[in-house]
Homo-oligomer: A and B are copies of this chain.
């Protein structure tokens, strides 16, 4: 296989990139942006080596514990469950939440074979079980308002019944069927205040 074919084939590991797009990308890099190609190669290697998961909230970080979890100003008794770091970032941009997070890094999706074990639910339940100053008194379910996000929220809420934690859900100010990361700040902020 030629180096160009190998590159085209390797580019297909990117989500949403088919044969034609991969070929266009490979041609573009070789013809117009070899410097960008080398920077991308470098960034891929560094990230693969250094990015890991926060031991507390499961999001991406380069340290043992992420900056949000390490921040002493955050309310330790509130835990907000989101699907992805992008969703967490959307919530952070509202400035309306001062608690901590748990990032599922996915959602339940039975049709794709993604069950509770694949999205770290046990890790979440272990986190809820912690006593002492890190004890969680309120869990805010901020999974997306899609079928899978709702199912994920439902499964978590059911599993935590009688565990002494107050489980709330973002208010339906968020348009049904949409994904948090594309929702405007005001709507998200409102939904946070009206959580049920």
Contact = CB atoms under 8 A, between A and B. Distances in A.
Interface in A127-157: none
A74 interface: no
A195 B10 CA distance: 38
Given A13-B33, A14-B28, A85-B27, A6 B48 contact: no
A111 interface: no
Contacts of A23: 86
Contacts of A14: 11, 14, 25, 28-29, 40
A73 interface: no
Interface in A31-84: 31, 33-34, 36-51, 60, 62, 84
Nearest to A8: B43
A178 interface: no
Given A29-B13, A38-B44, A41-B44, A4 B86 contact: no
Total copies of this chain within the assembly: 2
A24 interface: yes
Contact of A43 (B3, B15, B85): B3
A129 B74 CA distance: 74
Contacts of A33: 13
B15 A47 contact: no
A37 B47 contact: yes
A2 interface: yes
A7 interface: yes
Given A27-B86, A47-B4, A62-B3, A40 B10 contact: yes
A95 interface: no
Contacts of A43: 3, 6-7, 9-11
Contact of A25 (B2, B15, B28): B15
A174 interface: no
